[in-house]
Structure 1
């Protein structure tokens, strides 16, 4: 089960969880030391929206392969996720944690999870495209943002990466807008391709 820790100075109202046996990322040429994934629509199929039921978690194609490639190279992996369903009264913290636990059953342990529980109107520092979630994860894992990448399915994920000083990769789905695809610095057809785009060409 994921373990909650104290708030981060970068996003004091975010929910931060760390794996006590987390990866100690090591420099590896041009590869990032930390890759952060969005949750809904990226690691998992966003159906139903605001899912709080672990039994309804379904992985996106190549999610397992993508995460395994990173772990095999001793690259830390984490999740940064807006969960406005909490602020809207549609989800509880226990439900968010239960879904995260189910994802870890399917994909293995992540080094960090960081959630924003606020609605867009809350004006918090953590909700993507603000950089708070990304910075909270990099601070907690001791990895500079410049050595970090964020993979997501919408422009807010790429925007959070850019605002934090990290690399961003977009993996479009049916909900991704055309303008978000056009603006993304890197676009990949699936998660495994997104991960490979981050690795040196000789090993990708």
Structure 2
């Protein structure tokens, strides 16, 4: 384990976002609630320019924090962050900058063998929502279907699940809760794509918050 990886693990534990599980001789295992509130304190040493980069031991190819607040993700109206102010998000314009949204354990200097998004006993392991994507700070909650596709460490597809968000027709709305299926374990990468329906087409923005991960860090 590198000193930076050790520091990241200790930081997550100290912030109260991570829970250490009984350890094996091969791994240190941490369950982390990624609520993105410390993004301003994290330097994205790894990842595409403009993306979150490495956060809580995994690479997040999303916009987040201040970047998301100023782009097509978080707005004055629209879907509200579950734990404000920060979220991770993506939209049509952000996709042009950072490509497909994903979480990955495969990055330079990674000390993580694999990770899980299915957390036994955790009834809610993700919060999500969508906005109509506008060029202003006024967003409107929009119905959408968010598909997560999980890949094993060898790149083989092992899991797929769709989360549906339904607009209630107001100017603001709370995020919906969800949980990943038991197939989302021993992952190397999870990609996220969103369908916004015929009316919006690609002109939508997706927001995630409080995404729980279980990380298996090599000892």
Smaller-chain TM-score bracket: under 0.3
**TM-score (structure 1 length as normaliser):** 0.25
Larger strand fraction of residues: 2
